[in-house]
């Protein structure tokens, strides 16, 4: 059981060195020619374990690819917004909350002589049942005479 140094990265990936820091008796016997087999066990010791505050190479590459993809997507969205702004003259860049004061009375946006159509308030349940009874397979439903 040879002791190898170990590096623990911020992403919690672990890298163990290939060369041992301290060789065991089995490996030293193999090197001297007395032993028949080399040591296959890799062991690390807390005193030769190092924590790195950076990410491993794999995670760094993965993060840079993701950042590049996000950068390309943001550029594409900005291009589409510019195209829409050029075509229609307006694009909502962000959600804007508007606080409207109900007590203030504004001038009507229609002419005085013009009549406005008044839509009656519909009961949502009655409207739902009316639409269901108008469906082509209404005879299969058990809605009854609710209307």
82 part of a folded domain = yes
Give yes or no: residues 46 and 31 share one domain: yes
Residue 79: C-alpha distances to residues 65, 73, 85, 88 (Å): 21, 10, 10, 14
Give yes or no: residues 10 and 45 share one domain: yes
95 part of a folded domain = no
pLDDT tens digit string along 99-114? 655 555 555 555 555 5
User: Into how many domains does the chain fold?
Assistant: 2
* Mean local confidence (pLDDT), 60-64: 94
Give yes or no: residues 40 and 61 share one domain: no
Full domain range(s) for residue 83: 57-89
Give yes or no: residues 14 and 42 share one domain: yes
Q: What is the reported pTM?
A: 0.48
pLDDT tens digit string along 9-46? 999 999 998 888 888 888 888 888 888 888 888 888 88
Residue 116 is encoded by which pair of tokens?
């406005």
What local confidence, expressed as pLDDT, does residue 29 receive? 86
Give yes or no: residues 38 and 68 share one domain: no
- Quick one: pLDDT band at residue 6, thresholds 50, 70, 90? very high
- In degrees and rounded to multiples of 5, residue 14 shows phi and psi of -120, 140
Cα(100)–Cα(30) distance, integer angstroms = 86
Give yes or no: residues 8 and 39 share one domain: yes
118 part of a folded domain = no
- Asked if residue 62 has pLDDT above 90, the reply is yes
Residue 77 is encoded by which pair of tokens?
């969205």
């Amino acid at each position: 059981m040879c002791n190898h140094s170990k590096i623990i990265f911020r992403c919690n990936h672990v890298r163990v060195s290939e060369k041992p820091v301290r060789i065991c008796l089995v490996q030293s016997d193999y090197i001297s020619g007395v032993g028949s087999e080399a040591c296959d066990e890799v062991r690390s010791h807390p005193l030769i374990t190092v924590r790195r505050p950076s990410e491993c190479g794999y995670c760094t590459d993965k993060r840079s690819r993701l950042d590049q993809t996000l950068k390309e997507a943001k550029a594409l969205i900005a291009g589409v917004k510019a195209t829409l702004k050029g075509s229609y003259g307006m694009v909502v860049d962000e959600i804007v909350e508007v606080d409207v004061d109900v007590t203030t009375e504004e001038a009507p946006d229609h002419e005085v002589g013009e009549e406005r159509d008044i839509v009656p308030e519909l009961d949502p349940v009655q409207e739902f049942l009316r639409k269901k009874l108008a469906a082509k397979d209404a005879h299969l439903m058990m809605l009854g005479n609710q209307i």
